[in-house]
Amino acid sequence: MNWKKYVLSITLLLIAIVGAVFAGNWIWTKAKTGGTNTLETVEIKEYMGQKLSPIDDSRENSIKGPQNIDKESYRLVMTGLVNNETIYTYDDVITKHSLYQKVVTLHCVEGWEVTILWEGILVKDLLEDAVINPAANTVIFYAQDNYSTSLPLDYIINNNIIMAHKMNGLTLPTQRGFPFQLVAESKEGYKWIKWITRIELSDNINYKGYWESRGFSNNADLP
């Protein structure tokens, strides 16, 4: 037996095993922290010591069922009281703006709730791109299924409200609002609009969206 070749083979095998272990750990760690350059195979279950709800705990209760939106043809329109009407592709939104993470609990009026690690861009960054007209005081969001809701401009800016493209480290599933869902923290779940396709700046502070026009509070503040 050629002992030198045998020892070399064993050494190379051990190096390969150690390398695979470290590579696997790096991928898992990056995914756990919401890294953007990972294979999205692992849902984060805990973040900075806080337990997260499984994505599947979110219930599907949209007005027309999940909306299937094609990533390549998707467009987000910024319009209304802005000086620079803008149309974004999906990649424009998430590659041309800083990404932020935040653990926020969604409280549904149906009585259920989920605590999720959301990742996305700040709505105010999109608004700054569009250049806000001084007359604007309200932000109206529209969805693929014709759902709409509104929130005060000051609320959006002062609370660093996120428009999320990921939850628990994974790209939003279709039923959860791909490509984007609003993370309207401190507001009831019907303000958390999904499948966002258009954002309008308005001076109509009394605008009422889908559920608000049916009797739900326009403020939607949590108790």
Decide: 181 and 192 in contact? Cβ < 8 Å: yes
Q: How far apart are CA 46 and CA 48, in angstroms?
A: 7
**Domain map (residue ranges) of the chain:** 1-32, 46-214
Q: How far apart are CA 29 and CA 31, in angstroms?
A: 5
| Nearest one of 152, 154, 176 to 164, comparing CA atoms | 176
CATH number of the domain at 46-214, please? 3.90.420.10
At 121 the pLDDT is: 98
Kindly report the length of the chain.
Answer: 223
Please state the pTM of the whole predicted model: 0.81
Confidence class of residue 36 from pLDDT cuts 50, 70 and 90?
A: very low
Decide: 120 and 141 in contact? Cβ < 8 Å: no
Decide: 51 and 45 in contact? Cβ < 8 Å: yes
At 40 the pLDDT is: 55
Q: What is the pLDDT of residues 50-91, one digit of tens each?
A: 999 999 999 999 999 999 999 999 999 999 999 999 999 999
Is pLDDT at 10 greater than 90 in this prediction?
no
Is pLDDT at 9 greater than 90 in this prediction?
no
Is pLDDT at 27 greater than 80 in this prediction?
no
H or E stretch covering 9: helix 3-32
Q: What is the pLDDT of residues 128-176, one digit of tens each?
A: 999 999 999 999 999 999 999 999 999 999 999 999 999 999 999 999 9
Q: For 185, which DSSP code?
A: T
